[in-house]
Amino acid sequence: MKKLIMIIGLTMPVALTVKTHAQSTQPPTAAAAAQKVQRQNHWTLVYEGAIAKNEPGKVNIHPVRYKLNGIDIAANVYTPANYDAAKKYPAIVLAHPNGGVKEQTTGLYAQRLAEAGYITIVADAAYQGASGGEPRHTDKPANRIEDIHGMADFISRYAGVDGSRLGVLGICGGGGYTLKAAQADKRFKAVATLSMFNSGEVRRNGFQNAQIATVQERLQQASAARAQEAAGGPIAYVGVASVTDEEIAKTTTDLYREGFQYYYRTHAHPNSTFLYTRSSLLDLMTWDATTNMELIDQPLLMMAGSKADTKYMTDQAFAKATHAKSKELFLLDGATHIQTYWQPQYVKGAVTKLADFFGKHL
């Protein structure tokens, strides 16, 4: 098993040594973590208030699998209370954050929107989570956008779904990909984002533009990683395989400090990782969520925490949505980026706003 020294792409670089191999997709403790999560919840849902069992007359969860361009996709469908397949319901597609999986915050929002009367679907991105695709943790914008189209394909044919009333919600990185998917996919009649993260801008310039000086160097590294893969060598990964409490405490940005706490401590899931292939940067660094925003002509709702250090990305995208049928920037007062994922008062505020928004436009 070869090893690779990786640098965390934050404002405060930290060197880590992790095992890398095409088949080495999870930290060594993943099996134990999976067993622990399984004991806590049958569907390995890690958010507060998650469904523990399906019961008649209540919101239910339905794990499904389907093919997308030959790749096996793992998804969860949530149906509202007293769901009747003979009736017609509006539906919402949800796209998860970078490094996240369907059992975390997108599952929480999918369940809450199902409680509001919608059929919802959240899938693990191709190459990530419980979905198929090799190399593992490939993270290319085109794939993530296709994931959203694929969820729309599947849920539009699901029993009880009214395909003419389809909405989409993207969270964090999934929000950036949602904006891009909705520019072309007019099956989405209403478009919403929460704590939108422009993956291309951040991978290119660094968070808060902290790595502009090293763009060309990092593109050279990504090119070398692509060449290494093509030659049959080991897969090079960047990101964070694990993090200590001391490293968390020393992280200066709210996004990454609270993100480490969320993903590696309070809401950890064995399928969730901050790793991605270095070669993915060839695609990520030349992409931007905010190009062609004028193509969004659907109603648009963009939500962010008022104290989020990522809010500038929502502001930039919102300003470029010049042709949206209607648009609203909704701030969750006092919330940081990660707090919108799980803190009850902010989740409640966001879901209330989403239910009103989708209720008007679906």
At 46-75, the pLDDT tens digits run: 999 999 999 999 999 999 999 999 999 999
Q: What is the mean pLDDT of the chain?
A: 91
Task: Tell me the pLDDT band of 95, cut-offs 50, 70 and 90.
Answer: very high
Report d(CA 118, CA 319) in Å as an integer.
29
27-36, 119-128, 203-212: range with lowest mean pLDDT: 27-36
DSSP characters for 57-68? Answer: TS-EEEEEEEEE
CATH number of the domain within which 339 lies: 3.40.50.1820
For a pLDDT cut of 70, what percent of the chain falls above it? 90
Q: Give the residue-averaged pLDDT of 91-96.
A: 98
Rounded to an integer, what distance in angstroms lies between the CA atom of residue 96 and that of residue 93? 10
pLDDT in tens, 142-164: 999 999 999 999 999 999 999 99
The total number of structural domains that make up the chain: 1
CA angle 268, 95, 315 (to 5 degrees): 100
User: What is the structure's pLDDT at 28?
Assistant: 40
Which pLDDT does position 78 carry in this prediction?
A: 99
Give the tokens for residue 245: 């409490």
What is the three-class DSSP state of 213? helix
> pLDDT band at residue 248, thresholds of 50, 70 and 90?
very high
Using alpha carbons, select from 25, 37, 16 the residue that is nearest to residue 243.
16
Angle between helices 141-156 and 173-184 (to 10 degrees): 70
Domain carrying residue 284 = 3-361
Residue 23 is predicted with a pLDDT of 33
The predicted model gives 130-138 an average pLDDT of 97
The pLDDT of residue 241: 86
The mean pLDDT of 204-231, rounded to a whole number, is 97
Residue range 6-29, pLDDT digits in tens = 333 333 333 222 333 333 334 445
pLDDT for residue 41: 95
Identify the residue with better confidence: 39 or 15: 39
Q: Which of 302, 362, 360, 340 is nearest to 112 (CA)?
A: 340
Round to whole Å and give the CA distance between 258 and 163: 37
Q: How far apart are CA 360 and CA 342, in angstroms?
A: 25
Q: Tell me if 212 sits within 8 A of 205, measured CB to CB.
A: yes
Which distant-in-sequence residues (6+ apart) come within 8 Å of 30 by Cβ? 270
What is residue 188's three-state secondary structure? Answer: strand
> pTM score, two decimals?
0.91
